[in-house]
Every structure is written in structure tokens, then in C-alpha cells.
Amino acid sequence: MASDLIDEVRAGQVISSAVFNSLLTKVADLEGRVKDLEDKPSGGGVDDVLITGFDPPGQVRLGEPLAIIGRGFVFPAMIAGVPPSPSVPANTVMINDTQITNFLFDSTVNRLSFIVPTSLGFAASTVVTVSVSNQKGEAQPRTYTLLPPAVTTVPPPTITSVSPASQPGVPFVVIVGQDAVIGGTNFLADKAKDHVSFTVAFPGTPSMTFPVPTDSILDASPTLLRIHVPDVPQVLPIMELPVVLSVRVDGNSTVASRTVMARRF
């Protein structure tokens, strides 16, 4: 049976450094998981905090999503503050000396998802130490490789208009579960290279980000994106909630953001 690490290598085929480095990374990750199991006391509880891996497993660029895989994490990942107090993380995640202060909507007791801060400022591939702690304890830190942000090859996007597809005359409003039209500049015609998300911005509510899947980007051109707005549970019937609409394109790490009102009908 072929290995899960790499495809079978044919006789005489040259193995690239990228494939070999990927193999080394996955072997190191497997060794780390085995060590965690060997070091864990036999009487340890199932809720002990433990990092078992990462998604993606090998490396990621600054400004891109990363998930810590494990167990014993606290859910929800953010604790709502009572205004004027802000929401605070329920898990202390550190990358070297930098704390992660916001988590994505798909975080669970076994997964902590977030955007790697560009403020880390690495100009080259760098191995960092990742740690997780909460009221249950502290996980054994793990190492991970971060890459510098992607080189800018296209102009930054801008958002100039947003409206429901069914009500084009209603400015800067979206309806959850329905289509919306985003006008702007420097979007990419290849919708797989456009990245759209909504972040809940209601005071006192944990900040949560809802990415728009590629298959929910229905049309894309340099000046228009037609999307299907994801279901944001915090938007209740017969109410409006301010959310932050963000657009990023491949080839430029600049994020265009605009606060819009989300409705549910």
C-alpha cells in the first residue's frame, strides 16, 4: 500500500527538496505525537490539554489560517465581555512571545483556529514554539514553521459598495442565507483567489469570523463579487447586526474591510 506521506516514487525519479522536507516535517510531527503519548501519565484524564498536530501540518504563511489540533481546549474559544469590557480568549495560545487574541468560528474543544498575525514580521522561514494553556492545564509546547507573507503581485482590493442581490438599492446591507453583491476594485476573476469573510462586531459578543467558501462565491470579476452570505447565528430575526465584511486576494496580503448591517428574514 502506498504511504500517506508521499506518493510512490518511480525508479529513476528525482525527489524534490519540497517533497523531502514535507516528509521530514510529517515524520517529526508523528514523533512528537508518539512522545506526547509516552510522556503522558497512565492515569491522566481525557480532558488534559494536549497539542497533537496542526492544520496545515507542515507550514503556513503569516496572515493565513492555522489550526492547532489537540484536546482539552476550552469552548467557546472567546469569552464575551460585558461592555465596555472586551471579549477575551478562553485559551492562552502563544506563538513564541506573541499571544493570539481572536479565534475563528470553527474552533472547538479539539481545534483552535486563528489567523497567524502578520505582526510577527518574519522575513524568512522560521521555526516557532506554539503553546496552549487554560484552566485545565498547559500543553507540552510544539514547534511549527511559519513563512513570510506572500509576495505582493497584484494591487490591494477595495470595497466600494455592498447590497443584497434581491435589493440592489439598499446600501451596505446583507441578508444572511441570501446572495449579496460586493462592488470594488482589484478583485480577481478566478474566484478561488478571492477570500471573503464576515466577522461579528456586536459589542459584548465573542468575535467570530465566518469565511465564505469558494463554492459560495457565485461570480467574480475585477470590480464585482456575487456571494452567498453564510448563516451567522448571532443575527436574529427582525434585527440588524453590524458585521465586518473583509476581502483579500491572492498576491496581496492587504485586507479590504467594511462594516455592513446583517439582517435575517
Give pLDDT tens digits for 26-44.
666 666 656 555 455 444 4
User: Is the bond preceding residue 76 a cis peptide, omega within 30 degrees?
Assistant: yes
User: Whose CA is closest to 51, among 21, 89, 95, 87?
Assistant: 95
What does 61-82 look like in DSSP terms, one character per residue?
Answer: ETTSEEEEEEE---SSSEEPPP
pLDDT of residue 239: 85
Q: Please answer whether residues 139 and 49 qualify as being in contact, where contact means their C-beta atoms are separated by less than 8 angstroms.
A: yes
Per-residue model confidence as pLDDT tens digits over 137-146: 999 999 999 9
pLDDT of residue 111: 94
What does 135-189 look like in DSSP terms, one character per residue?
Answer: TTEEPPPEEEEEEPPPPP-SPPPEEEEEEETT-TTSTTEEETTSEEEEEEES--S
pTM: 0.61
Query: For the ranges 15-29, 174-188, 225-239, 247-261, which has the lowest average pLDDT?
Result: 15-29
Residue 156 grid cell? 490591494
Q: Please name the residue ranges forming H helices in the chain.
A: 17-39
Structural domains of the chain sorted by starting position, each given as residue range(s) with its CATH number in brackets? 17-38+46-147 (2.60.40.10), 158-263 (2.70.50.70)
Which one is predicted more confidently, 253 or 190?
190
pLDDT of residue 3: 39
User: Whose CA is closest to 103, among 218, 14, 199, 37?
Assistant: 199
State which amino acid sits at residue 228. Answer: H
